[in-house]
């Protein structure tokens, strides 16, 4: 088995505050690894280090066959980064952006032109090729950004929150595009706040929280750690019933102020039916019931026992 | 290393394209020089007591004034680049970090030389009659190129230091107004004592006087052209070294801070 990324004990702190606290990370060649975590978990820092844009305080890594610290230039040549913020020249057209980047990758003028035309077609940007990028929609900018990453097919592609801020349709389109690149055999390190994105694209998921990897596995394995997977929210109208339910159940969240309880269940109809029946019998029947699929918050709850400090607002969807 | 030239070429091409498409940069380089010349010669010129046609006095001052505005454009362009994602993209490419700045500085040089040429052409059109020989002209042009080169690097350094385009532009405002307190538009001896002392010793005065001496055959301070030129050279080379130094330091610091 060969690995495109093999990193050991990476640490990095900013002004004394640790952003990464001894991260080990391996990515098998040809696979997609999603680095999942809330804002501030250290995802972008990790990507920037592996992409040679930032130096770790300590730790070692081999990326695309080269030592990250000893030979960053060789690594640079083999990887490509599509960041959280699109890295395009708004004043130039889509075609000019592609040709410029092609030239900076040291393609000949003719080859750069040819590659730009091919990529514009492949990424469905031909119609907008000669318009300034400033006039593009968010989805088009991300596609152009990805197209630039693919001028020379990289061994490793970093996608840092590729769909943050996109509408659902553009997200769907971008996922399809990324899927095609993966089929071509590109190894991908993806960071995301969204479980569904990891679920859709990744072979392996590593959950980063507070600068440490707190869990790792396939999306299925992770979801299994949620106990099968759905969250039942119970809203109570009076405190007596709320207390009775608290005693009878094992809630993951119990909020006395709002009289709300949340539980994790397997999600099968039988289980949910049984749960509600139990509540009825103990006289703790809820005033209102809601059932949700597992969210990233749930992953954090089950992995860390508490919502990650910064996650609650930012990642609830 | 062999790619340094072609990389720089691409970066220069990018920055020139951006300049041509940026209405503000376009205005500053092409229209502003003419407006300033007409303003100073025909609006203020009549009121400014000067032995002879005012245009014969004011051209070097206008060139410096335009160079200040041009430097402002450059600082804003660099700051805008640095705060946008494109820098990250460039940094992820196998190219030398200074090529980015080289593009900006070269484009700045081109914009400002065009602006200077326009001031000179417009000046000649409205009656400016320099008495300089070919050698004098060459000297004056060399002074201008050095000035613009130094100010472009200074602007690049300011653009790198500033957090965002607004900060860069407000700092450059200082440089844009500095020529007014020099011998650019009026003689220093018409100013109150404190201002006169400042005007006589600030960097733009010897630079302006060098051009004036070379073009018109005499300076306005009474000192010889050679004397003014030495001080002007010291200032411009000093600014150039500072600009290049600070810009390089910023690039290194950026690489290490992240």
- Over residues A21-64, the pLDDT tens digits come to 999 999 999 999 999 887 778 898 999 999 888 899 999 999 99
- The answer to whether residue A108 neighbours chain B at the CB level (below 8 Å) is no
Lowest mean pLDDT among A135-149, A156-170, A241-255: A241-255
Indicate the DSSP class of residue A93. Answer: B
Q: Tell me the DSSP string of chain B.
A: -TTHHHHHHHHHHHHHHHHHH-HHHHIIIIIHHHHHHHIIIIIIGGGS--SS-THHHHHHHHHHHHHHHHHHHHHHHHHHHHTSTHHHHHHHSSS-THHHHHHHHHHHHHHHHHHHHHHHHHHHHTT------HHHHHHHHHHHHHHHHHHHHHHHHHHHHSSSHHHHHHHHHHHHHGGGGTTTTS-GGGS-HHHHHHHHHSTHHHHHHHHHHHHHSS-SSSS-HHHHHHHHHHHHHHHHHHHHHHHHHHHHHHHHH-
What's residue B258's pLDDT?
46
What ipTM does this complex have?
A: 0.83
Beta carbons within 8 Å of B74's beta carbon, 6+ residues apart: B104, B105, B107, B108, B111, B152, B155, B156, B159
Q: Which tops the pLDDT comparison, A100 or A139?
A: A100
CB pairs under 8 A between A and B: 67
Is the separation of the CB atoms in B231 and B206 below 8 Å?
yes
Closest in A51, A77, A92 to B17, CB measured: A92
The CA distance from A76 to the nearest CA of chain B, in Å, is: 6
Per-residue pLDDT band at B238 (split at 50, 70, 90):
very high
By C-alpha distance, the chain B residue nearest A12 is B258
By C-alpha distance, the chain B residue nearest A56 is B258
- Over residues A238-263, the pLDDT tens digits come to 888 888 888 887 777 788 888 888 88
**CA-CA distance, A212 to A59, in Å (whole number)?**
14
- Over residues B205-222, the pLDDT tens digits come to 999 999 999 999 888 888
Which residue from A112, A52, A108, A43 is spatially nearest to A78, judged by alpha carbons?
Answer: A52
Beta carbons within 8 Å of A213's beta carbon, 6+ residues apart: A23, A24, A25, A206, A207
What's residue A229's pLDDT?
63
Indicate the DSSP class of residue A155. Answer: S
CATH architecture entry for A3-224: 3-Layer(aba) Sandwich (3.40)
Bridge partners, residue A216, by sequence: A206
- Over 50: is that where the pLDDT of A312 sits? no
The 3-class SS string of A108-145 reads CHHHHHHHHHHHHHHCCCHHHCCCEHHHCCHHHHHHHH
What's residue A168's pLDDT?
85
Q: Please state whether beta strands A156-160 and A17-28 pair in parallel, antiparallel, or not at all (unpaired).
A: unpaired
**CA-CA distance, B212 to B57, in Å (whole number)?**
8
Per-residue pLDDT band at B64 (split at 50, 70, 90):
very high
Q: Which tops the pLDDT comparison, A247 or B244?
A: B244
Per-residue pLDDT band at A309 (split at 50, 70, 90):
very low
Is the sign of the CA dihedral A78, A82, A85, A90 positive or negative?
positive
Per-residue pLDDT band at A270 (split at 50, 70, 90):
confident
- Over residues A178-224, the pLDDT tens digits come to 888 888 889 999 998 887 888 889 999 998 888 889 888 888 787 77
Q: Which tops the pLDDT comparison, A264 or A81?
A: A81
Q: What residues of chain B lie within 8 A of the CB of A52, using their CB?
A: 92
Lowest mean pLDDT among A197-201, A230-234, B200-204: A230-234
What's residue B256's pLDDT?
56
Question: Mean pLDDT over all residues of chain B?
Answer: 89
Which residue from A14, A1, A28, A11 is spatially nearest to A218, judged by alpha carbons?
Answer: A28
This prediction has a pTM of: 0.76
What's residue A315's pLDDT?
32
- Over residues B7-58, the pLDDT tens digits come to 999 999 999 999 999 888 888 888 999 999 999 988 888 888 666 788 889 9
Q: How many CB atoms lie within 10 A of CB B19?
A: 23
What's residue A310's pLDDT?
37
Residue window 32-61, chain A: list those with CB within 8 Å of chain B.
48, 51-55
Average pLDDT rounded to a whole number, residues A228-238:
78
CA atoms within 13 A on the CB side of B141: 11
Q: What residues of chain B lie within 8 A of the CB of A81, using their CB?
A: 88-89, 92
What's residue A293's pLDDT?
67
C-alpha distances in angstroms, A136 versus A168, A169, A256, B50? 17, 15, 48, 56
Q: Please state whether beta strands A288-292 and A230-235 pair in parallel, antiparallel, or not at all (unpaired).
A: antiparallel
Is the separation of the CB atoms in A75 and A49 below 8 Å?
no
Q: What residues of chain A lie within 8 A of the CB of B2, using their CB?
A: none
- CATH number of A230-293: 3.30.559.10, 2.160.10.10, 3.30.70.270, 3.30.70.100? 3.30.70.100
Which H helix or E strand runs over A288?
strand A288-292
Domain chopping of chain A, boundaries: 3-224, 230-293
What's residue A237's pLDDT?
84
Long-range contacts, A169-172 (Cβ 8 Å, 24+): A169/A139, A170/A137, A170/A138, A170/A139, A170/A142, A171/A197
Q: What residues of chain A lie within 8 A of the CB of B85, using their CB?
A: 83, 85-88
Q: How many CB atoms lie within 10 A of CB A240?
A: 11
Which residue from B130, B138, B137 is spatially nearest to B58, judged by alpha carbons?
Answer: B130
- Over 50: is that where the pLDDT of A311 sits? no
What's residue B157's pLDDT?
94
What's residue A300's pLDDT?
60
Average pLDDT rounded to a whole number, residues A266-295:
78
What's residue A268's pLDDT?
77
Which residue from A88, A182, A192, A196 is spatially nearest to A138, judged by alpha carbons?
Answer: A88
Per-residue pLDDT band at B100 (split at 50, 70, 90):
confident
- The answer to whether residue A119 neighbours chain B at the CB level (below 8 Å) is no
Lowest mean pLDDT among A125-134, B139-148, B155-164: B155-164
What's residue B44's pLDDT?
87
Which residue from B150, B165, B159 is spatially nearest to B236, judged by alpha carbons?
Answer: B150
Interface test with A, best of B1, B10, B90, B97 (most A CBs within 10 A): B10
Is the separation of the CB atoms in A63 and A75 below 8 Å?
yes
What's residue B214's pLDDT?
94
Question: Mean pLDDT over all residues of chain A?
Answer: 84
Is the separation of the CB atoms in B63 and B144 below 8 Å?
yes
């Amino acid at each position: 088995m060969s690995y495109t990324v093999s990193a050991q004990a990476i640490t990095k702190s900013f002004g004394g505050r640790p952003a990464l606290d001894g991260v080990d990370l391996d990515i098998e060649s040809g696979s997609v690894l999603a680095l999942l975590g809330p804002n501030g978990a250290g995802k972008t820092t990790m990507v920037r280090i592996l992409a040679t844009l930032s130096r770790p305080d300590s730790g070692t890594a081999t990326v695309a066959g080269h030592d990250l610290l000893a030979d960053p230039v060789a690594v640079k040549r083999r990887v490509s980064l599509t960041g959280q913020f699109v890295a395009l020249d708004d004043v130039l057209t889509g075609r000019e952006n592609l040709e410029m980047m092609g030239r900076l990758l040291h393609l000949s003028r003719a080859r750069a032109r040819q590659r730009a035309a091919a990529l514009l077609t492949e990424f469905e940007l031909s119609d907008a090729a000669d318009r300034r990028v400033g006039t593009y929609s968010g989805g088009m900018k991300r596609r152009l950004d990805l197209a630039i990453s693919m001028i020379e097919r990289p061994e490793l592609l970093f996608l840092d929150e590729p769909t943050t801020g996109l509408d659902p349709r553009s997200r769907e389109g971008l996922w399809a595009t990324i899927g095609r690149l993966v089929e071509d055999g590109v190894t991908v390190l993806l960071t995301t706040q969204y479980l569904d994105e990891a679920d859709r694209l990744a072979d392996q998921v590593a959950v980063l929280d507070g600068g440490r990897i707190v869990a790792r596995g396939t999306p299925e394995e992770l979801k299994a750690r949620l106990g099968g997977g759905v969250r039942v929210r119970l809203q109570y109208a009076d405190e007596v019933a709320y207390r009775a339910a608290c005693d009878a159940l094992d809630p993951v969240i119990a909020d006395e102020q709002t009289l709300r309880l949340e539980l994790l269940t397997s999600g099968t109809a039988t289980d949910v039916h049984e749960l509600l029946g139990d509540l009825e019998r103990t006289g703790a029947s809820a005033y209102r019931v809601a059932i949700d699929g597992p969210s990233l918050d749930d992953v954090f709850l089950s992995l860390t026992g508490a919502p990650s400090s910064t996650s609650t607002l930012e990642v609830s969807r | 290393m062999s790619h340094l030239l072609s990389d720089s070429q691409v970066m220069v091409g990018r920055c020139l394209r951006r300049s041509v498409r940026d209405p503000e940069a376009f205005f500053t380089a092409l229209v502003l020089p003419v407006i300033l010349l007409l303003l100073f010669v025909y609006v203020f010129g009549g009121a400014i007591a000067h032995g002879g046609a005012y245009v014969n006095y004011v051209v070097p001052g206008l060139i410096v004034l335009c160079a200040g505005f041009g430097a402002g454009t450059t600082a804003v362009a660099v700051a805008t680049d640095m705060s946008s994602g494109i820098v990250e993209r460039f940094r992820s490419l196998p190219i030398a970090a200074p090529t980015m700045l080289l593009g900006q500085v070269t484009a700045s040089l081109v914009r400002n030389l065009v602006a200077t040429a326009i001031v000179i052409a417009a000046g000649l059109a409205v009656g400016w009659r320099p008495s300089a020989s070919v050698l004098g002209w060459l000297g004056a042009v060399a002074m201008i190129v050095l000035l613009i080169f130094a100010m472009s690097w200074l602007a690049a350094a300011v653009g790198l230091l500033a957090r965002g385009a607004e900060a860069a532009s407000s700092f450059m405002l200082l440089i844009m107004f500095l020529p007014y307190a020099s011998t650019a538009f009026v003689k220093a001896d018409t100013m109150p004592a404190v201002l006169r002392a400042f005007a006589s010793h600030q960097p733009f005065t010897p630079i302006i006087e060098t051009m004036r001496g070379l073009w018109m055959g005499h300076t306005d301070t009474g000192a010889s052209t050679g004397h003014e030129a030495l001080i002007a050279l010291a200032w411009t080379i000093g600014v150039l070294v500072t600009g290049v130094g600070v810009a390089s330091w910023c690039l290194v610091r950026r690489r290490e801070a992240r």
